[in-house]
Amino acid sequence: MRYEQLGERWFLTDHAERVCCTDVPNFPWRAEGDRRQAISAGSFIVPFKHHSKGRRHIPRQRHRVTNWRDYDTALRNRGSLTIWFTEEALVGWRAQSRKTPGGQPHYSNLAIETALTLRAVFRLALRQSEGLIGSIIKLLEIDLPVPDHSTLSRRACGLPVQNLPRSGTGKLHLIVDSTGLKLRGAGEWLFEKHGTSKRRSWRKLHVGIDAHNGQIVAFDLTDKEIDDASHVEPLLEQLDDAPASFMGDGAYDRAHVFNAVRVRNPDVRFIVPPCKGAVLGPTATTAPTQRDSHIRSINKHGRMNWQKTSGYNRRSKIEAAIGRYKRVIGDALRSREDARRLCEVKIAVKVLNRMLELGRPVCVRVA
């Protein structure tokens, strides 16, 4: 068997015409174990994200929204003040008197949460949020005090924010992933112009969504050095129901992650792609694990076939959820302290889940 390289792609040359390795579901070096050193690292097992050039022959799917009228109404309602500034907030605006020592609060937690919610929805600074709330109260002709920006900043530290309950009563199919939120540093234009900046700082947002409706059911904010797999248990502790299936990328291919998920549901489906060069476990012949089944399926039919048969393609939903977060809320954190940053993320997650409740698109594939 002879191979020939043309550019960044390898071809079989003992055929009448060249056949790309991406077109062969069982490429010989995968079956025979031929790990050729001439191939650049990380480029001989396909498909992966960095092989987009080799996947140009795969047609892009096309979808059509079937409930466009309802979805269009929901999109308009996302900017309605009546959605975010509710009557319940007006009724419970003032804080109840407490009997413990110390000063008496003027505003309830609901009032502070409403103000910070408006800040997140309309991407305002604290002073602009104060001005918006003052104008709303003035238009409503209601005699209520307006929290100043210093009060909003101080009360945001440790503010209890209760996330919306999970919609639906079916089984929970959990998909997890993480992304980075920028704290400070040069903008994208300066990064593109001058390259990496040492002053760019980040926090990592760990997210778990319900695959059925895209709702964020678990999340946490950590330093950027925290490994994805090491932070699965804090996400699982936030769930009211044990997940029927767990899905993540190759970063979650760890034994302790599988054990943590299996403790909550012994019959859970663990859909995580094995790492490159993964081998079968010691009990593969007598009592094969789910990971052993994944490895055998990939070796026999290829990774793309495994993605379709196992349902791993549904992991794109969490990519859409992360993209929705950064488009609607933003890709940066505005607060200066970690406690306030966590409160900012809690309110942002609640806002996104509320937007999904207003209406979601129903898409059907047309091509």
Angle, alpha carbons 145-146-147 (nearest 5°):
115
Q: Is 350 left (phi over 0), alpha (psi -120 to 50) or beta?
A: alpha
Could you write out the DSSP letters of every residue in 208-248? EEETTT--EEEEEEEETTS-SGGGHHHHHTT-SS--SEEE-
Tokens 């997940």 locate to 243
Q: Which of 27-41, 175-189, 268-282, 312-326 has the lowest mean pLDDT?
A: 27-41
Residue 38 has pLDDT above 80, yes or no: no
Q: What is the pTM of this model?
A: 0.80
Instruction: Give the pLDDT of residue 26.
Output: 45
| Complete domains list, the chain, with CATH | 3-55 (no CATH), 69-155 (no CATH), 173-365 (3.30.420.10)
Which whole number is the average pLDDT over 111-129?
94
For 250, the token pair is 């190759």
Q: If you average pLDDT over each of 6-15, 119-128, 195-204, which comes out highest?
A: 119-128
Instruction: Give the pLDDT of residue 61.
Output: 82
Instruction: Give the pLDDT of residue 300.
Output: 92
The strand pairing partners of 225, in sequence order, are none
For 17, the token pair is 């015409």
Tens of pLDDT, residues 81-101: 989 998 889 899 998 887 888
Alpha carbon distances (Å) from 273 to 51, 145, 253, 260, 313: 17, 55, 7, 17, 11
Tens of pLDDT, residues 237-281: 999 999 999 999 999 999 999 999 999 999 999 999 998 888 998
For 74, the token pair is 């929901």
Instruction: Give the pLDDT of residue 52.
Output: 61
Residue 351 has pLDDT above 90, yes or no: yes
- 310's CB contacts (< 8 A; 6+ apart) are 271, 294, 297
Which three-class secondary structure state does DSSP give residue 192?
Answer: helix
Tens of pLDDT, residues 253-264: 999 999 999 999
Instruction: Give the pLDDT of residue 16.
Output: 45
Residue 169 has pLDDT above 80, yes or no: no
In this structure, are strands 63-65 and 19-20 parallel, antiparallel, or unpaired? unpaired
